[in-house]
Amino acid sequence: MYEQASHSLLNEILIELKPEIGKHRMRHFYTRLGANFYAIHSLFRLLYGDRPAFKARMLSLVETLASRDMERAPGLRKSDLAREKDYNWFLSQKWVGMALYCDRFADDLKGLRANLSYLQELGVNLLHVMPMLDCPPDNNDGGYAVRDFFRIDPRYGTTEEVESLAATLKKRDMLLALDIVVNHTSEEHEWARRARAGEQKYQDYYYVFPDREIPDHYEETMPEIFPETAPGNFTWDAEMGKWVMTVFNTYQWDLNYRNPAVLIEMVDIILFWANQGADILRLDAVAFLWKKLGSVCQNEREAHLILQLMKDCCQVTAPGVLFIAEAIVAPGEISKYFGEDAINAKECEIAYNATLMALLWDAVATRSAAVLGQGITSLPNKLERATWLNYVRCHDDIGLGFDDNDIRRAGFDPHQHRRFLIDYFTGRYPGSPARGLPFGENPKTGDARISGSLASLVGLESALESGDEAAIDAAIRTIVLLHSVILAFGGIPLLYYGDAIGTLNCLEYLADPAKAADNRWMHRSTFNWNKAKKRHESGTVEQRIFNALKKMIALRKEVTAFADFDNRQLLNVANPNLLAFSRTDPQNSRNRVLVLVNFNDAAQPLAIDGLRGHGFFVADGMRDLCTGERVAAENDSLILPPLSCYWLTD
């Protein structure tokens, strides 16, 4: 019955579509619209069914899809078709990503195009360029406070240069991922400026209130994201004479998706960037898309409906384009951004594995895999056609967002354990070699996150300062073993731009008043090309890290068992310092790898009887893919060197 109503609405809309759209040859568009319309209509009705002019809004949404479809270049249409056929293409082990800032890595888009060889040398073939859109020069949250969604910051270049970058990448069989900041705009965005000037239409794009009554009500349950620099979730705008919701910084105004016009604008923006050649769109801060009084205003059901709607719209116009969910939330909530009760992702195909990332840092501090192993056991399953983005560091702070129960199961008190982790990484814990800083410390709750570059957090900075060779070696080994996990775990590994050459903390941001209060800038340094050159000098720190990662990346691409087809099994080993899991090629079960990691700084024994039950070590030894050497047990025990990792095959 409802399906029929949906069908007739589709017919009415098609008749009403602007004549020029109707005339255009859009065979695939009509097929894809037909296939997705029921879902789009149902979701739109769930979200906006009670809003006036429902049908006109639906028409406007379909018009948006059609207009952007007309613009889609032939090359992109071709890749849409190819990816529709080979729909699991992104689950392959062949993809290895890197996130970088265009300006900090290579000044601008031209520079970036000219320096792709650095990525290729390492084996990286998925490039996530951090946001490049027009932002105010100072209050920009590293590009996440967008002033104009259709304009590249002129310091980086032009939209045409993004297209050229995408084309160059395509020729080299590389992928481009771009950010879409869906949750908020800069206070200088045209919508915000017009809202400020009193236009009701644009005040309705945001959460705007005349007095504190509703904001106070919201504040009762909303946590603070940047408690030190931007306490509270509302900002008084003197010009507008009203309060506006600003969950992140005071200059980032939260968009109000209760207004269908906002959704339609954002779908248009998504499709615009899909049309410039992005293969993947990283949707920023998606957990925050829907605010509800009396709740924490994160992970609301409607946030998921909005993402489903965005995905379905993208399926119509740019079906080859994938979404990454940037939802740094509790482990049980993250996987919901793939979509629930489905096989294929119906929201985002890829999600940041923030849980694994935080657990890895736990293993670094404790030098044990006790909490890590528990946390991996409780990681929610992903959908079949979906995958994780596995990372060690990124441009943000490290939130210790794993489950208290996993900490308890590993034998620790959650509160004390988190306190220990913060003390450890900020160097307050006696003997800790880490050089991080606390980020977002909230005196009201005692919570804190951690800033710092990978190398400085694992002790490379302090080791270099003291010239302690053993400590330098330990830091390098730690960097390598953390990457060995993200490369072998299942999912797309995402490296962070300075990490392959051991980039240390950079304190230059302190001299810039616009950045000084946000210590995440300490791990967003300008890429040091002189340091990078040392990757070719034998025996340097840079060479030792770069070569090890390069080798593992090349190996990963060869090992089909590393593709992500729910083919990982965590193996119970009696020694809590060790992590052990197997990866098996679902097409050929003889093709498998045993991953063993020792997080401890002392050599660790591993009893192999347990592994025999899984079919490993039945012969006299196994071969380590990374070194090519045979690894054999003695007296049924294998000794893993300090801070080491093995990828073993028969």
- Judged by the rule CB under 6 A, the positions of this chain that interact with ligand GLC are 141-142, 144, 181, 248, 284-285, 326, 395-396
Query: Nearer to ligand GLC by C-beta: 202 or 248?
Result: 248
The answer for residues whose C-beta is within 8 angstroms of residue 53's C-beta and 6 or more apart is none
Q: Which of 69, 254, 326, 585 is catalytic?
A: 326
CA gap 350, 86 in Å, rounded: 17
Min. distance of Cβ 520 from ligand GLC in angstroms? 7
Closest to 505 in 3D by CA, of 362, 393, 358, 367: 393
56: number of Cβ within 10 Å: 11
Calculate the CA 170 to chain-centre distance.
22
161 or 326, CB closer to ligand GLC?
Answer: 326
- Given a contact cutoff of 8 angstroms between Cβ atoms, the answer to whether 285 and 82 are in contact is no
Q: Which residue's CB atom is positioned nearest to ligand GLC?
A: 144
- Compute the distance between CA of residue 428 and CA of residue 545 in angstroms, rounded to an integer: 27
Reading the block at residue 452, the tokens are 């710092």
Helical packing angle, 370-377 and 354-366, nearest 10°: 160
The C-alpha atoms of residue 49 and residue 361 are separated, in whole angstroms, by 45
Contacts of 146 (CB under 8 A, 6+ apart): 131, 133, 134, 135, 181, 185, 186, 189
444: closest CA among 235, 233, 227? 227
Known catalytic residue at 284: yes
Is 71 tagged catalytic? no
Per the CB < 8 A criterion, the answer to whether 614 and 570 are in contact is: no
Q: For residues 649 and 613, is the Cβ–Cβ distance under 8 A?
A: no
Task: Count other C-beta atoms under 10 Å from residue 518's C-beta.
Answer: 22
Contact between residue 452 and residue 437 where contact means Cβ atoms under 8 Å apart: yes
CA distance 9 to 72: 25
Alpha-carbon gap, residue 223 to 566, rounded angstroms: 35
Q: Closer CB to ligand GLC, residue 524 or residue 535? A: 524
Map residue 633 onto helix, strand or coil: coil
Task: From the candidates 103, 188, 284, 347, give the one annotated as an active-site residue.
Answer: 284
What is 86-100 written as a DSSP string? TTTGGGSTT--EEEE
**Residues designated catalytic:** 284, 326
